[in-house]
Amino acid sequence: MSLLDVRDLSVVFQRRGERPFTAVDQVSFTVEPGQTVGLVGESGCGKSVTSLAIMGLLPKRGNRVTGEVLFEGTDLLGLRPDDLRDRRGRDIGMIFQDPLSSLNPVIPIGVQVAEVLERHRGMARRKALREARELLDAVGIPDPDRRLTEFPHQISGGMRQRALIAIALACKPRLLIADEPTTALDVTIQAQILTLLKQLVDETGTALIMITHDLGVVAGLCDTVNVLYGGRVVERAARHELFARPRHPYTHGLLSSVPRLDSPRGERLHAIRGSVADNIPWVEGCAFAPRCDNVVDACLDGPPPLEPTASGGDLRCNNPVSEEVAVP
């Protein structure tokens, strides 16, 4: 049994007087214990909404979540709010993008870490603070004793993100969801945080869902990568396979439009034409069709199915990029 099995997860946002908007559209993927799974895509592709839906953190009103999120066989979507709260933080930890807005500005760091231990492991405050000190030390925060009593604004962005990781890992969750954990950070700090995450995942055997727009981050970290476009998974492959032989024109386009540090200079970037605004609804065909170089008539007849590929991944495309075509 997979640790997490997301089946046909859909999230539809509906506001009165407006057309419903499908942010996540029948997304399915699994996470095995100890595995690192990447969800990659650009803004608006539904990657963050997917993570919020898994955690049950979407607002109560204005949206409809359908499908199943099986965590060790239990459907999280069907749990009562109290039961879900028990699992959040204990079984599943989450790290958000912006550490400043996800930490409480008027509560000392130490208390914020200890809080989780008190809630889920029933520790007394004193004991929880001692444990919190160990956690801050484990995530590489210098002088943890002093940090316990400090407030979020007193420490730097990188340190805040470390504190957030300490909170997420406090109860040794079996699954950690990291939503753009390094996007707000500078590259040298990003390297520190990614190294830390990799090390923690290796040491504790925690499974990790890494949500990011940065293909470089995925390349160094994830075992399996799901590429999302317009709310659907368009390609899924093992890390090496995806980067060496991207089959979906969108994945291929993304990889060839990023300027790379190690590529020869002076070449034009191969931009994907248009923008997400050109997307067509999935019911009418492939959402990416208006921007796609490989578009064929069948793309506008209806949504292409997600089909298994020979290399063990999945692909949603009528006319995939040939396996021989390398990324420029």
Partner 1 sequence: MTERTGPENDAATPRPGMDDAATPRPGMDEAATPRPGTDDAATPRPGTDDAVTGPPRTETGQGEAEAGQAGAGDAAGRERPLIELRDVKVHFPIKSGLLFDRTVGYVYAVDGVSLSINAGETYGLVGESGCGKSTLGRGLLRLIEPTDGEIVFDGTDVRALKGESMRTARRRMQMIFQDPLSSLDPRQSVESLLVEGLKAHGLADDREATNRRLRETLEAVGLSASALSKYPHEFSGGQRQRIGIARALVLDPDLIVADEPVSALDVSIQAQVLNLLEDLQNERGLTYLIIAHDLAVVRHIADTVGVMYLGGLVEEASSDDLYREPMHPYTRALMSAVPVPDPLVEDRRERILLAGDLPSPTNPPPGCRFHTRCPWAQPTRCVDERPALRDVVGGHRVACHFAEDIAAGRVRPHEVEPELVRPDDGGAPGDTGELIPTL
**Which of 111, 258, 280, 306 is in the footprint of partner 1 by CB under 8 A?**
258
Separation between Cα atoms, residue 42 and residue 222, nearest integer Å: 17
Region 298-327 residues binding partner 1, contact defined as CB under 8 A: none
Query: Taking CB under 8 A as the rule, does residue 190 contact partner 1?
Result: yes
Q: 116 with 171: CB under 8 angstroms? A: yes
Closest of 218, 213, 226, 235 to residue 43, by C-alpha: 213
Q: 231 with 41: CB under 8 angstroms? A: no
Strand partners, 75: 70
SS3 209: strand
**Residue 258 or 280 having the CB closest to partner 1:** 258
Query: Taking CB under 8 A as the rule, does residue 195 contact partner 1?
Result: yes
Query: Taking CB under 8 A as the rule, does residue 34 contact partner 1?
Result: no
Query: Taking CB under 8 A as the rule, does residue 186 contact partner 1?
Result: yes
Helix (H) or strand (E) holding 213: none
State the number of CA atoms in the 13 A half-sphere of 1 facing the CB.
Answer: 7
Query: Taking CB under 8 A as the rule, does residue 219 contact partner 1?
Result: yes
Q: 68 with 6: CB under 8 angstroms? A: yes
Separation between Cα atoms, residue 251 and residue 137, nearest integer Å: 39
CB of 47 to partner 1, least distance (A): 12
Strand segments (E) across the chain: 4-13, 21-31, 36-40, 63-71, 74-75, 92-95, 175-179, 207-212, 224-229, 232-238, 307-308, 314-315
CB of 200 to partner 1, least distance (A): 15
Query: Taking CB under 8 A as the rule, does residue 191 contact partner 1?
Result: yes
Query: Taking CB under 8 A as the rule, does residue 270 contact partner 1?
Result: yes
**Which of 15, 104, 124, 153 is in the footprint of partner 1 by CB under 8 A?**
153
How many residues bind partner 1, per CB under 8 A?
60
CB of 63 to partner 1, least distance (A): 24
Region 56-115 residues binding partner 1, contact defined as CB under 8 A: 98, 100
Interface region with partner 1, contact rule CB under 8 A, candidates 28-36, 59-67, 275-283, 298-306: 275-283
CB of 260 to partner 1, least distance (A): 6
Return residues touching partner 1 (CB under 8 A). 42-43, 98, 100, 140, 142-143, 153-159, 184-192, 194-195, 213-220, 239-240, 243-244, 253-255, 257-262, 265-266, 268-278, 293
